[in-house]
Amino acid sequence: MASLAIVLGTQMTVASAWPIVACLFLSVIVPTAVLLFVGVRSGRWKDGDVSIREERKRFYPWAIPISAAGVTATWFMRAPNFIVRGAIVTVGLLILAAIINTRLKISLHTLFAFYCVVILFRTSSPAGSVALALAVLVFWSRLNLGRHSVSENMAGALAGMVGGIFAAWWPW
């Protein structure tokens, strides 16, 4: 959400950006938080990271439609094309991660950290630089916590960077 706020804050007025942030918060962030909370409370997942690859098979079928709801919401509210495009790429990244999950538990934290880095470099070099430093810390933390291997983090970083290129740099 912070990356979205930075992008919107540099591209739009606060009055125009606020409804988009609220829309995505209510259509994606809140439902995802509820999904994770209920999943952990019910024992469906061991933790809020959905750290076990087999458990992610039950996560993606919910997370993808929730993200698709964000695409639909931004489209119906006539958000700028760059926002709708970013929402579409986000759904595509989740679908890609679900496919990759059949072989490798890709790091979604690293994926979305590097996704934000590439998008923020398009918007603001200083914001992109700060995001890069934070993404490297996310990469390290996933290793340090034992949640992911180097290859799972590398796959996440690569997918995130490619997604960021499609969302922010690729001509649509």
CA gap 105, 110 in Å, rounded: 12
Please report the pLDDT score of residue 5 as a whole number: 78
**Is the C-alpha dihedral spanning 27, 73, 50, 35 positive or negative?**
positive
Tokens of 86: 């970013």
Mean pLDDT by 10 residues, the chain (172 residues): 81 89 93 96 92 92 96 94 94 97 95 96 93 98 95 97 94 75
Sequence-distant (≥ 6) Cβ neighbours of residue 82 within 8 angstroms: 7, 11, 167, 168
Provide the 8-state DSSP code for 25. Answer: I
Task: Quickly tell me which residue has 């409370």 as its tokens.
Answer: 41
Please report the pLDDT score of residue 30 as a whole number: 96
